[in-house]
């Protein structure tokens, strides 16, 4: 089931980037970010409330300062990453920005190991990561005139 979720997310991210590129021709980067944040806040709040997880999550964050700091750091990283991909999209185009951003799984695996000591590579994932890196190099090198 995870593969269906991942592919579905990929389809929706592709659609989102395409629409976002056109939105930013008329709406500022902060405006696009604010709209996404407000939408996320409303949907996540309603979902957490109705699922009954909101109180548990708040209690966890009050009791566990390590988790609170991890969440605060993640928020900062999320905002910075979102800002950077929007800047890349506005500077070039959605396709090129997304094709380069697709290298993020390499960094996911690297940080999983460096921060949490989780080794999430095997021969197949290492081969795939090598192909992704090679693809990013090709996209950058051959896509300069796009």
Q: What is the pLDDT of residue 40?
A: 97
Are 84 and 111 part of one and the same domain?
no
Are 115 and 89 part of one and the same domain?
no
Nearest Cα to Cα of residue 97 among 138, 140, 135, 131: 140
Are 27 and 85 part of one and the same domain?
yes
Domain carrying residue 146: 102-146
Are 50 and 118 part of one and the same domain?
no
Are 38 and 71 part of one and the same domain?
yes
Are 108 and 73 part of one and the same domain?
no
Are 116 and 138 part of one and the same domain?
yes
Q: What is the pLDDT of residue 118?
A: 95
Matching residue, tokens 């997310």: 9
Are 87 and 108 part of one and the same domain?
no
The HSE-up count of residue 59 (CA atoms within 13 Å, CB side) is 5
Question: Which residues of the chain have a pLDDT value below 50?
Answer: none
Are 79 and 112 part of one and the same domain?
no
- Over the stretch 116-136, which tens digit does the pLDDT of each residue have? 999 988 899 889 889 988 998
């Amino acid at each position: 089931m995870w593969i269906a979720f991942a592919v579905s997310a990929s389809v929706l991210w592709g659609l989102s980037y395409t629409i976002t590129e056109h939105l930013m021709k008329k709406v500022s980067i902060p405006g696009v970010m604010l709209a996404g944040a407000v939408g996320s806040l409303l949907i996540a709040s309603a979902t957490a409330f109705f699922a009954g997880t909101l109180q548990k999550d708040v209690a966890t964050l009050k009791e566990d300062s390590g988790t609170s700091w991890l969440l605060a750091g993640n928020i900062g990283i999320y905002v910075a990453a979102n800002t950077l991909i929007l800047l890349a999209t506005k500077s070039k185009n959605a396709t090129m920005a997304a094709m380069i951003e697709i290298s993020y799984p390499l960094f996911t695996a690297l940080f999983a190991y460096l921060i949490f000591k989780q080794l999430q590579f095997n021969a197949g994932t290492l081969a795939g990561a090598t192909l992704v890196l090679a693809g990013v190099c090709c996209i950058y090198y051959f896509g300069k005139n796009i």
